[in-house]
Amino acid sequence: MSPTITIIGSTGLIGLEFLRAIRDGGYRSITAISRRVIPDLSDKSYIHQSINDFTDLESMRSQLKTDVLVCTLGTTIKTAGSQKRFFEIDHDIPLALAEIAREEGCHTFILVSSMGANAQSKIFYSRVKGQLEEAIKGVGFPRLHILRPSMLLGDRQENRPGEFVGKLIMQPLSFLIPWKYKPIQARTLAAKIHELIANEEAGTWTWSGKDLFSKN
């Protein structure tokens, strides 16, 4: 039977691409939890949009009763305003929601982490991503997929200079860049997530470099 899916971070670059790729009947049910309505999805009434401000995470429990939880949630240190707030958003929120989902019987967690994630890293961003990965491994999902993309490419309204440089310079030269550092289109990564959902093998996987590029 096709699984039920819940996604957090659904208004973001990857989250939106993930949802855009879903056709009616593609999954048994699909719930996108976000802080605001996603206008782009007005033609996809089969995607249930659940609006929540993510302050009372317990109130999200019923939406987290799902087979698969996809996490594309995250921010930047600049947007968060402080390292403390960044940690709360990129670590504490996904972890708390993963724990609730697992308590509710969720068997598969798909986490979009980042290239370089390492709980021992001297770089704060990479360290937080690594700490989240480690913490999620402790939650006990029968199937855990961790994706570690390099720079994401796609249409983003927010101005991110790093990604702008990526588009202008790295994309045309992408063939010269080692797989680990290659920028990846959000659409391609979203396709990989759909591919992983279809994989019913139990275990914990970490995907990076060439392996992130969906074969479909």
Task: Give contact residues for ligand NAP (rule: CB under 6 A).
Answer: 9-15, 34-36, 54, 72-75, 89, 93, 112, 114, 149, 151-152, 163
Q: CB of 53 within 8 A of CB of 36?
A: no
Length of the chain: 216
Which one of the listed residues 27, 129, 182, 192 is annotated catalytic? 129
Helices (H), 59-182: 77-80, 83-87, 93-103, 124-137, 161-165
Which one of the listed residues 44, 125, 137, 167 is annotated catalytic? 125
The gap between the terminal CA atoms of the chain, to the nearest Å, is 21
Per DSSP bridges, beta strands 108-112 and 184-185 are unpaired
Helices (H), 2-149: 13-20, 77-80, 83-87, 93-103, 124-137
159 or 201: CB nearest ligand NAP: 159
CB of 24 to ligand NAP, least distance (A): 23
31 or 105: CB nearest ligand NAP: 31
CB of 119 to ligand NAP, least distance (A): 16
Active site residue 137: no
57 or 139: CB nearest ligand NAP: 57
Active site residue 167: no
Catalytic residues: 125, 129
